[in-house]
Structure 1
Amino acid sequence: MKCCKFLILLFLSALLLPEYTKGQQSISVDDYPLIGAQVFIEPGQTEEETEGWFRTMRDNGMSVCRIRMFESYMRKPGGWDFSLFDRAFRLAEKYDIKIIGTFFPLTEKTDIGGWKFPESRAQLNSFAEYIKQMTTHFKQFKSLYAWVLINESGGGLKDNEFSHQMRKEWNRQYPQPEYLENGYPVLVDLQDKRFMNYMTTWMLNWIASEVRKHDKNIHLHVNNHAIFSNIAEYNFPEWRRFLNSLGGSVHASWHFTLFLREEYSLAMSADCELLLSGAGNLPWFMTELQGGNNTYSGGRAMCPTKEEITQWLWIVMGTEGKGGIFWSLNPRASGIESGEWALLDFQHQPTDRVTAVAEVGNCLKRHKPLFSEAKKLDPGISIVYIRESLWTETVVSQGTPAAQDGRAMCMTNVRIFQSFVGKRYYPQPESL
């Protein structure tokens, strides 16, 4: 309650400015807030089960869902079978739920996150055909709101035919600096990391271009992930050229390992600030927020409390976010994430975390004119990061014993600062 009161006061003191107006694909006041969850669609589900999930969302104030569009569930020998997902799109229309579809091209069953780059030109061409099928078939549904270009972009560029070909082309366009060609001694060659940064943007732009061949108006979105680790790989200003909104994945169990549990609100705020900055003139919303337990499938086993759910959502809104989508509503039935992450219990009933989401969503809807146009107060402080510095730090710190590392003392000072700032500006939920 303390955090909610603080954030409400923050909004009441904010300057009210017009909403974003970047063309018809941008998020409008009518769309806001985008509060919802991932609905996992898998073979074997009954229509009754699927309808129950959409009804639960409607009854708890959720207006948007995200669906992973598994190519493996649609591509059949000799053709395509969309029936499993058609049913979900029809039910979404019945319960007035917007769908944000995530492209998820064919991959191994054990690959829970999906590949980020193809292995060959042939696989890239196959991806293009998949995009064509998704965009041309599902544009018939009024429930389709947006496409996520690929799940959690960043990383995953392997040593294969495709990367070799792209590197040759990139080397011709961006040759080695003269001081490297002349053998000048340097601490580290950053060309590999520059290439990775280039490829992440290239891949997203390629996907967006393929979508635009078949649908000129659909909203395009992407969610980065593990931003504290991957920030140097992302070129947000370039992404703005082909996106309509920016997003991210922020899972405490995976992405907050630099922080203690009582510091998670600070970590969430930092993540949101990076997205707000990266979005520039675009709107942004949090594409993935941890909704339930991950005893097995997380880096740090945990289940968020209802107080944390409430606090996280208000932090997103307090950073000009246009909403948050939880991962996930219902648990997956297969894979190493099966039975985990969900807002619902194993009887498909809402937990107290669902109630927390509904309370925030209903508050936002009651005061839509305020929250849709409020701007975060400028604190007058900016943190500047330099990719080359982050890359160099990563390379030179590998294998350095922590006990001999001067950075260990720096981290102690960071902890002291976090403790002061966190207690003063980010009060913890009372249950913690």
Structure 2
Amino acid sequence: MKRAREYLGCQLWVEPDDSPERVDELVAAAAESGLGWLRVFLMWPWIERDPGVWDFGVFDAVFDAAARHDIRIKATLTANSGPWHIGTPSMLHSHTGFLRPDQREPMRRYIRACVERYRGHPALGQWILWNEPTGGHERTDEALAHWRRWLPGHYGGDIDRLNRRWLTGYRTFAEIPFPEEIPYAAHRGHVWTSYGPWLDEWRARAAWLIEELTWVRDAVREIDPDTETCVNPTAVLKNQAESGTDLDGIGGVVDTIGATYHPAWGFTFAHRSQFPALMAAGVRLQASLPSVRDVEVTEVQSGNTLNSSHRPCDVSTGEIARFFLSGLAAGASSVTGWCLNVRSHDFEAGDWGLLDDMDRPSERSRMIRHVHDRLSAAFEHTGSWRQAPPRAWVVMDPRAQAIEWIEATGRAVVPGRLANDGAHGAALLAVALMQQGVSTTLTPMDNLPDQAPEGGLIVLSHVVGWDTASAERLLQFVDSGGTLLLDATSGRKNLDSTLHRPWPGGLAETLGFRATGLRT
């Protein structure tokens, strides 16, 4: 059975001029706090300040100190954020994708240098391929080339089929621009343009992200075939179509799928009493996906923040305990805080530290030690924890979110019509059920059960669209004795954004009711 410390971690921030003594003091403080993991960014702009000149000094100190203190390292690669000499100056790390084809070979050299250096180190426990990846909206030549490569596969090479849906007249896929450039200049941004290009565009971005993550993973695997791989997307409890995130696809790339949960950034739609349950809902969502083998929490707030957030947000000792315990109780294999110590320079400097700003133990770090001790005692009686099987499912489907995102773009800011309203509402419904003691899982439509357990419940709210197969699955669930709860914002359209007549699609006539319009 795993020791308690193997479930607990924190991000360690070092500076390139940190001495081995200071690094050892920080790692020792982590060990004293009961942590068994430290996450470290292998900052390419520090490691290769000049072309071909490699300096791993501070990171060697981290790995060696971790080995001495019985701590394992989650080594985060930053191949998407290189030094000035590959054309990306003044950047430490970022969320962007790969920007130019000529950066590929330098990226491969950086990955090779990192993996060859640490693959056999006794402290290495995991490679994090890319921090907080999203299928972003980069409009680069490389992104355009991917878009044009992706479309023929999606349409089976049939340009006429694309033109019928898009209301266009392209002769080849190679001439198609990004969706925002398709309408005549005076028509761009108008509400009556075809949804077709945008319904395709989010899928293409999601596929691009999976390709890029696979490229990094394969570069790692060429040198280190054994060490666990991980990645931590942010778009879990938000509109996944808008961010180009296919969680199930990403889960198939890595051994462990993680996530970032910072209440100060991502939970501003909720009351702080709901923050731990929201994180548990995200863990259970990821664990429900067919490709996923293991789930972790890669980042969760472990210190106070003033500037580096959507709103200032402190964190109490009790909240820190609940963050870590709720993730573990939901089935996470580990929970890692952000951060052990505060950064010294620029963005985030002075924010997020588990230790105080002088790198000394704080009430927060003492609480993590308390969590460690109580976990050790609990495991002696219960053994390791596992996720309880669900009795209720709340639907969160990126295909429906795509319609929601398109219809929110460029419109008035009206609650109930915003891109993230469906995702946030589903998350809050899952939280409400869990807080009533009902084991609940967020999940996409395709992953719903067709046979209901005793007392089984499916909840659909603000799920704008679904297809015939999804409706049939819902009916099978009801036929087996389950309960279906849905509201009038659900099932109005199919996944191509065509209105169901009658709606909710595929359910209305069988269940003996139909909606003919909305009163708002």
Using the size of structure 2 for normalisation, the TM-score is: 0.70
Q: Are 1:182 and 2:161 an aligned pair?
A: no
Tell me what 2:271 maps to.
260
Tell me what 1:51 maps to.
24
Residue among 156, 159, 174 paired with 2:139: 159
Deviates more, 1:346-355 or 1:128-137: 346-355
CA contact (8 A) 1:116 1:153 kept: yes
Offset of 1:172 from its aligned partner? 3.0
Counterpart residue type for residue 377 of structure 1: A
CA RMSD of aligned residues (A): 3.0
Query: For residues 330 and 414 of structure 2, what CA distance do their matches in structure 1 show?
Result: 37
Aligned runs of 1:265-276 on 2, under 5 Å? 265-276=276-287
Residue among 67, 71, 75 paired with 1:101: 75
Query: For residues 80 and 341 of structure 1, what CA distance do their matches in structure 2 show?
Result: 30
Offset of 1:349 from its aligned partner? 1.1
1:387-408 deviations in whole A, cap 9, x for unaligned?
Answer: 2210111111234435596789
CA contact (8 A) 1:276 1:319 kept: no
SS at match of 1:289: strand
Change (3 A) 1:100 1:279: farther
Change (3 A) 1:379 1:111: same
Q: Are 1:210 and 2:183 an aligned pair?
A: no
Deviates more, 1:163-172 or 1:124-133: 163-172
1:351-372 deviations in whole A, cap 9, x for unaligned?
Answer: 1111221122222234446666
Residue among 73, 81, 89 paired with 2:63: 89
Change (3 A) 1:103 1:404: closer
Tell me what 2:408 maps to.
397
Tell me what 1:8 maps to.
none
Query: For residues 415 and 72 of structure 1, what CA distance do their matches in structure 2 show?
Result: 38
CA contact (8 A) 2:96 2:138 kept: no
Aligned runs of 1:367-382 on 2, under 5 Å? 367-368=378-379, 373-382=384-393
Change (3 A) 1:368 1:156: same
Query: For residues 414 and 168 of structure 1, what CA distance do their matches in structure 2 show?
Result: 34
Offset of 1:417 from its aligned partner? 6.0
Offset of 1:184 from its aligned partner? 6.7
Tell me what 2:257 maps to.
246
CA contact (8 A) 2:135 2:206 kept: no
Change (3 A) 1:370 1:75: farther
Counterpart residue type for residue 132 of structure 1: R
Tell me what 1:200 maps to.
209
1:238-267 deviations in whole A, cap 9, x for unaligned?
Answer: 334331111111000001022122332332
Query: For residues 229 and 323 of structure 1, what CA distance do their matches in structure 2 show?
Result: 22
CA contact (8 A) 1:112 1:335 kept: no
CA contact (8 A) 1:225 1:250 kept: yes
Deviates more, 1:239-248 or 1:310-319: 239-248
Query: For residues 368 and 393 of structure 1, what CA distance do their matches in structure 2 show?
Result: 44
Deviates more, 1:237-246 or 1:338-347: 237-246
Q: Are 1:325 and 2:305 an aligned pair?
A: no
Counterpart residue type for residue 200 of structure 1: L
Deviates more, 1:257-266 or 1:92-101: 257-266
Offset of 1:373 from its aligned partner? 4.0
Deviates more, 1:162-171 or 1:212-221: 162-171
Offset of 1:113 from its aligned partner? 4.5
Change (3 A) 1:406 1:300: closer
1:302-356 deviations in whole A, cap 9, x for unaligned?
Answer: 0111110111111111111112111100111112111111101122112111122
Offset of 1:204 from its aligned partner? 0.9
CA contact (8 A) 1:32 1:322 kept: no
Query: For residues 258 and 270 of structure 2, what CA distance do their matches in structure 1 show?
Result: 22
Tell me what 1:9 maps to.
none
SS at match of 2:238: helix
Query: For residues 295 and 391 of structure 2, what CA distance do their matches in structure 1 show?
Result: 21
1:151-201 deviations in whole A, cap 9, x for unaligned?
Answer: 001143411121122222222322378554225765443111111110111
Q: Flag the structure with more relative contact order, 1 or 2, with Cα contacts below 8 A and sequence separation at least 6.
A: 1
CA contact (8 A) 1:109 1:335 kept: no
SS at match of 1:80: coil
Offset of 1:55 from its aligned partner? 0.7
Q: Are 1:388 and 2:368 an aligned pair?
A: no
For structure 1, list consecutive stretches of 5 or more residues without a partner in the other structure. 1-27, 427-432
Using the size of structure 1 for normalisation, the TM-score is: 0.83
Q: Are 1:229 and 2:238 an aligned pair?
A: yes
Tell me what 1:297 maps to.
308
Change (3 A) 1:92 1:371: farther
CA contact (8 A) 2:408 2:418 kept: no
Counterpart residue type for residue 327 of structure 1: W
Residue among 90, 105, 130 paired with 1:150: 130
Tell me what 2:490 maps to.
none
Q: Are 1:168 and 2:148 an aligned pair?
A: yes
Tell me what 1:123 maps to.
103
Q: Are 1:40 and 2:22 an aligned pair?
A: no
Counterpart residue type for residue 66 of structure 1: R
Identity score, percent: 20
For the pair shown, the structure with the greater C-alpha radius of gyration is: 2
CA contact (8 A) 1:222 1:246 kept: yes
Deviates more, 1:365-374 or 1:39-48: 365-374
Counterpart residue type for residue 272 of structure 2: R
CA contact (8 A) 1:250 1:288 kept: yes
Aligned residues: 398
Offset of 1:278 from its aligned partner? 3.6
Offset of 1:43 from its aligned partner? 1.8
For structure 2, list consecutive stretches of 5 or more residues without a partner in the other structure. 168-193, 439-520
Change (3 A) 1:302 1:200: same
Query: For residues 119 and 398 of structure 1, what CA distance do their matches in structure 2 show?
Result: 25
Change (3 A) 1:142 1:424: same
